[in-house]
């Protein structure tokens, strides 16, 4: 079994990332949104490669010492192999190197797999945003993690 390789997202990754995005989310980002994101100095977008293809990706927007995690998705054929956790840990490490100490995200209330993953790596529930998501309308659970200075 080939190991995963995590790296910063490049333009050549965006077509595969967009395909995973389209297959994962009911209101997916456009290809152009990812292109803009990877060219913005206040963002951090990464991909996991496995078997020569994009197995998953994650990204965040930085504001001072906070990072809002915007996208996390794993190609269905690579799920339940630890790729989501690896992406999150790498994203947190690189974010922390850029001065981020607090990470924040929203997740669908019904997305037990993602919520369990985030809880497993130390995210705490802060609250809820009523009817935050569309297609279908659903509450968002707000979660955060603080990384202490080393």
All domains of the chain, ordered by start, with CATH? Answer: 5-105 (3.40.630.30)
pLDDT at res. 15: 97
**What is the CA angle 108-15-83, rounded to 5?**
50
Is 106 among the residues known to form the active site? yes
Band (pLDDT 50/70/90 cuts) for residue 3 is confident
- Rounded average pLDDT over 96-121: 96
* Its pTM surpasses 0.85: yes
Q: Considering the candidates 45, 57, 78, 118, report the single residue annotated as catalytic.
A: 118
Closest CA to 47 of 29, 25, 67, 73: 73
Question: pLDDT tens, 26-78?
Answer: 999 999 999 999 999 999 999 999 999 999 999 999 999 999 999 999 999 99
Closest CA to 61 of 19, 22, 104: 104
Non-local (6+) Cβ contacts of 67 within 8 A are: 44, 60, 61, 95, 100, 102, 103, 104
Is 78 among the residues known to form the active site? no
Is pLDDT of 149 > 80? no
DSSP 11: G
Following DSSP, what letter does each residue of 81-145 receive, concatenated? Answer: SSHHHHHHHHHHHHHHHTT--EEEEEEETT-HHHHHHHHHTT-EEEEEEEEEETTTTEEEEEEEE
């Amino acid at each position: 079994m080939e190991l995963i390789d995590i790296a910063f997202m490049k333009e050549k990754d965006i077509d595969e990332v967009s395909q995973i995005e389209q297959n994962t989310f009911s209101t997916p980002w456009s290809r152009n949104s990812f292109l803009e994101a990877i060219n913005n100095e206040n963002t951090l977008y990464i991909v996991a490669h496995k078997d020569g293809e994009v197995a998953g990706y994650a990204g965040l927007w930085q504001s001072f010492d906070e990072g809002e995690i915007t996208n996390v998705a794993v190609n269905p054929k690579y799920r339940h192999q630890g790729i989501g956790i690896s992406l999150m840990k790498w994203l947190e490490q690189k974010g922390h190197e850029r001065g981020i100490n607090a990470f924040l995200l929203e997740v669908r209330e019904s997305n037990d797999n993602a919520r369990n993953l985030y809880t497993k790596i130390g995210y705490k529930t802060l609250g809820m945003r009523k009817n935050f998501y569309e297609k279908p309308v659903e509450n968002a659970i707000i979660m955060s993690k603080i990384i202490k200075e080393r």
